[in-house]
């Protein structure tokens, strides 16, 4: 039995590879019109509503931002950025008190 991917995994901006990761894709968009996908929306809990969004904000084909609805209540409560594009989140903003506002920001030491 394969293990479910981590919700914090930025993953690939290739929709075929993303689909193979085992989480249903709700939408994939080319927001800047360059012919490459730069936003993928996933449905991690199978209810038909996107709750994980992965972005390629600089158009280089590598995911560098993620937004999650971690508790599946319809509100984004985690945003992570991979500044150096090594696949690891370097800065994270979270809603720690559940009020819908990202109120805690953490940065990696490196």
Per-residue pLDDT of the chain (110 residues; tens, 9 = 90+): 456 668 898 888 999 988 888 889 999 999 989 999 999 999 999 999 999 999 999 888 899 999 999 999 999 999 999 999 888 899 999 998 888 899 999 988 76
Residue 54 confidence (pLDDT): 96
Global confidence as pTM: 0.88
Spatial distance between the Cα atoms of 62 and 49, rounded to a whole number of angstroms:
24
Residue 52 confidence (pLDDT): 95
Q: How far, in Å, are 45, 67, 83 from residue 74 at the CA level?
A: 12, 12, 26
Element containing residue 82 per DSSP (H, E):
none
Residue 20 confidence (pLDDT): 85
Of 17, 67, 13, nearest in space to 44 by CA: 67
Residue 3 confidence (pLDDT): 62
Residue 1 confidence (pLDDT): 44
For the chain, what are the domain ranges?
15-107
């Amino acid at each position: 039995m394969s293990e479910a991917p981590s919700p914090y995994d930025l993953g690939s901006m290739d929709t075929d590879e993303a689909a193979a990761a085992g989480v249903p894709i709700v939408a994939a968009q080319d927001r800047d019109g360059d012919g490459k996908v730069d936003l993928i929306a996933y449905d991690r809990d199978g209810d038909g509503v996107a709750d994980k969004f992965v972005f390629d904000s600089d158009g280089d084909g590598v995911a560098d931002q993620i937004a999650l609805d971690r508790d599946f209540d319809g509100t984004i409560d985690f945003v992570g950025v991979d500044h150096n594009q090594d696949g690891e989140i370097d800065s994270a903003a979270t809603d720690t008190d559940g009020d819908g506002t990202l109120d805690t920001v953490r940065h990696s030491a490196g």
